Amino acid sequence: MASLPHGEPPPRPVGHEQIEGELDRMLLRFDLPGELAHLRQQPAWKAGRGPSSTTLVKHPDLRVVLVALRAGQRMPDHRTVARITVHVLEGRLRLHLGSGPEVLGRGELLVLDRNLEHDVEAIEDSAFLLTLAWPNPEDCP
């Protein structure tokens, strides 16, 4: 890992490692089980008050969010101009779409095009990665 000018190491975000590569490109590596364990220590998870989440990556055109839901919890209907993926890490989810429900289990990935109304319901205690990719403004009608 590269050092700052005065020999100080760069800050290490909780749960992941910053790696500077050639050409000054930044890579992020995440310990997803560790991040999930940390989420499950948060008051929202312990009290069962809705989803627990943490944003792992935040760029103008890309977000990656780790979300944990208890069985029966629901993220209400919404839509986004971003394309999204839902990758189930643990448990089972039901997404309600205009075309009907989609049930996803561990290891499954669902890709939704932009502006599709949907909600997410946990059938059992679940964790998933939500990736949002915003379009280039020139590509929008």
Is pLDDT above 90 for 10? no
CB of 81 within 8 A of CB of 134? Answer: yes
How many residues in total does the chain contain?
A: 141
Q: What is the pLDDT of residue 7?
A: 38
What is residue 46's predicted lDDT score, i.e. its pLDDT? Answer: 85
C-alpha span between 75 and 82 (Å, rounded) = 17
- pLDDT per residue as tens digits for the range 96-131: 888 889 999 999 999 998 888 888 999 999 999 999
Mean pLDDT of 58-84: 89
**Reported pTM:** 0.77
Spell out the domains of the chain, with CATH numbers in brackets.
48-139 (2.60.120.10)
Question: 69 pLDDT exceeds 90?
Answer: yes
